Structures are given as structure tokens and as C-alpha cells.
Amino acid sequence: MWIALIYLFVFFIVEFGYFKLARHFNIIDKPNSRSSHHQVTIRGGGIIFSIAAITWYFVNGLSYSYFIAGLVAITCISFLDDIFTLNNKLRLAIHFTAVVLLFQQWGLFSFPWYWLALALIFVIGTINAYNFMDGINGITGAYSLLAIATLFYIHTHIIAFTSTNLLVITALALLVFNFFNFRIKAKCFAGDVGSVSIAFILIFLIGQLILVTHNFGYILLLLIYGLETSTTVFFRKIRKENIFEAHRSHFYQYLANQLKWNHLIISGLYFVVQLLLNVILVNIIDNLALLLLFIAMVSIIFLVLRFLVEGKKYLMEPHTS
């Protein structure tokens, strides 16, 4: 208990220290036509996630070195991307290197090539989904804290699959970040460095869980983010938009920008819905047939909800907002 409080105190000090550096070097987020916020805010507060994981690494016997090396690589390039506009080829090369290191940590290179392909789709898809979804106050911090809490429950009550301390330290870092971000006027945003690094950490942990249990259903701990991102890409393709350009086409962005919902209500709603799904996944679903039925039902409900709220015209026809 005391150790956790010490970590919490240290992470607050580190976050305050980063704020001073960010102000000095002008690492800020200025609102533009694609933003869902309206005031200048410090960018990159999510760097605390990587700092926490690296702290765990040195305190807990240098475990999972390939994972940490990949995390450091992807954190550094994402942080630089928050400050400068980097060459896409350089950024993709570093991301690919980080993924290779992650696969080495998982021991995937002894598996057939098609498992590597599936893992690559899962990793790249999740990192991009997290980056796309980090657009309003509270959503990244709250959603990630739920994922870590669920993984901690599984680790302590169902099957041990990773380091308890890594789960706890990551949760503490998320609590500190949420203190500054889960508010009407956020003190900081996660930035690419935050969204990408916490995605990488969660991917590593979920991958460990899947390898121990051989249950691919645990990727559904991030189901809402997956559905949100995949359906948004689908509708943008239908509207013949460039899916690589910045946009405000996500469902949460429609709620925030068109319907003017409070950011924290939206973030809380995503948290609660994913919490309910996690409870069902962990306690009820125990075979492939139920898993597939669960995915189909949730997907249909989400699509129907988008059509009811956003409307067919907004989803299917070109628009600029």
C-alpha cells in the first residue's frame, strides 16, 4: 500500500515536471477545425504511461526487455511526432521495429506465418484505433483504466499471466493522467505519445493473456474502440473519403461536436458500455459459438445506434464537418 502511494506521489511530481517543460518548449495543442476542444492545452501528458512502465522495468529485475525496448522506440518517435511533423516512412519504420520486438517478447517467431499476420493486424489496428479515438477529454484515460482493471481482475482471480506490479504501476499512471485529463477543462492531453504508448502496453498484456489461455476472445476487452474505428473507416470508404486524412467522423466526435454533449458524459458512457461487455466476456462467454454470437449482436446494435443517432445521410453521403 505504501509503495503504491509513493509511486502515485512520484508520478504526480513527474507529470508536473513535464508540464513545466511542455510550457517552456511550447508543446501544446491549439484548437483547429478538426478539434473537439476549444482551448490551448498541454500535449503529451500521456508520456507518464511509458515512464511508469520503464520505472517498473528497472525496479522489478529488468523483465520483458524486448517489450520495453519496443515501448521506448515507439514512445520516442511518437513524442517527436507530437512536436514536429515527421516523415511517415520514418515513423512507420520505428513502429514496425517496435512490433518486431513485441513479437520477439511474445515468442511468436516460432509460430506459422499466418499467426504472425493475424498478430500484425491486431497490433497495428489497435495502435491506430487508440490514436484515432483520443479526441475528447477523459476517453483514453478512462477506457484504458478499465482495460487495466479488467486485466488485473483476470490476473488475480482467473489466471496469472503477467507481472502484478506492471498492472498496478500502469493503473497508477492512468490515475494520475486522469486527474489532469478527466475534467471539463483538461490540463493536458495524452498526445500521440500517450495514446500510442498505452495502446502498446495494453496490446502486450492482452497478447500475454491470449498466449496463456489460447482464448482470442480477450481482444474484445477493446471491443468498443474496435467497432468505433472499423465502422468509421467503413463509412468513410463509402463516402469515398481519404481514410488517412484528419476528420471528425467518429461517433464520439458526432456526439461532442454536432450534438454538443459534454466530453465527460461521452467518455463515461464508453466506459460503462465497455464495462458491461467486459463483465459478460469474463463471466458468461465460455465457448466459440457464444463469442461469435456476442460479437454479432454487439456489432449490429452499434451499427443501428449510429444510424439512429447520426442518420443515413450523414453516414453515407459526403460531408466536410
- Tens digit of each residue's pLDDT (9 = 90 or more) over 143-161: 999 999 999 999 999 999 9
Does pLDDT of 32 surpass 70? no
- pLDDT value of position 242: 86
> Model-level pTM greater than 0.85?
yes
Beta bridge partners of 29: 41
- pLDDT value of position 245: 80
Q: Choose among 94, 84, 168, 167: nearest CA to 127.
A: 94
Burial 85-108 (b: 16+ CB within 10 A, else e): ebeeeebeebbeebbbbbbebbeb
- pLDDT value of position 35: 53
Q: Answer whether 39's CB lies under 8 Å from 185's CB.
A: yes
